[in-house]
């Protein structure tokens, strides 16, 4: 069975990216993955600073790095901030990347973002994709850029547009197909 982590780059209550994370998580579970939903609020880490790293790496960074190294699939839903990934995701990946667990070499990564704009935070997703590729991660070709956020989801949390539903299905197939987990 494939193992999957899903996480969101927003801690805001009512986050559209959290809705996307929950939806993709459910679809991965339906496809047969054992899914662990990661709440980054439960993994506190200060702003990355090499002086802090020299003193003591946050325990949360080591725990998350081990989880990433053990997972077959990692899905990240992140809002776009100033055409980049969210500060929460940037800081999390900075700390995780400094650990020595091979955390980006095993899993296949899927990326998504929901934005108030019609372009669905696609610039931020490309920034995040570029960061992950530079640390050796395998990222799916399908990237979920969804917008506008206000009409992106039905009341039950499912995408409201048929095209988005198809893109989510495509990404889940890629995540399951490209991952190295057991059948």
pLDDT in tens, 44-54: 999 999 998 88
Cα 166 from Cα 135, distance rounded (Å): 29
Instruction: Grade residue 137 by pLDDT with cuts at 50, 70 and 90.
Output: very high
Cα 91 from Cα 164, distance rounded (Å): 29
Residue 159 pLDDT > 60: yes
Instruction: Grade residue 180 by pLDDT with cuts at 50, 70 and 90.
Output: confident
Give 94: exposed, middle or buried? Use CB within 10 Å, 0-12, 13-18, 19+.
Answer: middle
Instruction: Grade residue 118 by pLDDT with cuts at 50, 70 and 90.
Output: confident
What's 109's DSSP letter? E
Structure pTM?
0.95
Helix, strand, coil proportions of the chain in percent (round to 5)? 45, 20, 35
Residue 183 pLDDT > 50: no
Residue 41 pLDDT > 50: yes
* CA dihedral for 149, 152, 158, 159, sign (positive or negative): negative
Q: Would you say 79 and 14 are in contact if contact means Cβ atoms under 8 Å apart?
A: no
Per CATH, the homologous superfamily of domain 3-178 is Flavodoxin domain (3.40.50.360)
State percent of the chain over pLDDT 70.
98
Residue 182 pLDDT > 80: no
- Give the domain ranges of the chain: 3-178
């Amino acid at each position: 069975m494939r193992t999957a982590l899903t996480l969101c780059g927003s801690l805001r209550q009512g986050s559209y990216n959290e809705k996307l994370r929950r939806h993709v998580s459910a679809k991965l579970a339906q496809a047969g993955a054992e899914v662990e939903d990661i709440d980054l609020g439960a993994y506190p880490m200060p702003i990355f600073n090499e002086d802090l790293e020299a003193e003591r790496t946050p325990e949360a960074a080591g725990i998350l790095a081990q989880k990433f190294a053990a997972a077959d699939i990692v899905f990240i839903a992140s809002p776009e901030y100033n055409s980049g990934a969210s500060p929460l995701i940037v800081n999390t990946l900075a700390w995780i990347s400094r650990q020595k667990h091979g955390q980006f070499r095993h899993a296949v990564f899927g990326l998504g973002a929901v934005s108030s704009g019609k372009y669905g935070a696609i610039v931020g997703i490309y920034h995040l994709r570029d960061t992950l590729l530079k640390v050796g991660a395998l990222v799916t070709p399908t990237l979920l850029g969804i917008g506008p956020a206000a009409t992106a989801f039905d009341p039950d949390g499912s995408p409201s547009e048929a095209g988005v539903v198809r893109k989510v299905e495509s990404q889940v197939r890629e995540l399951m197909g490209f991952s190295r987990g057991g059948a």
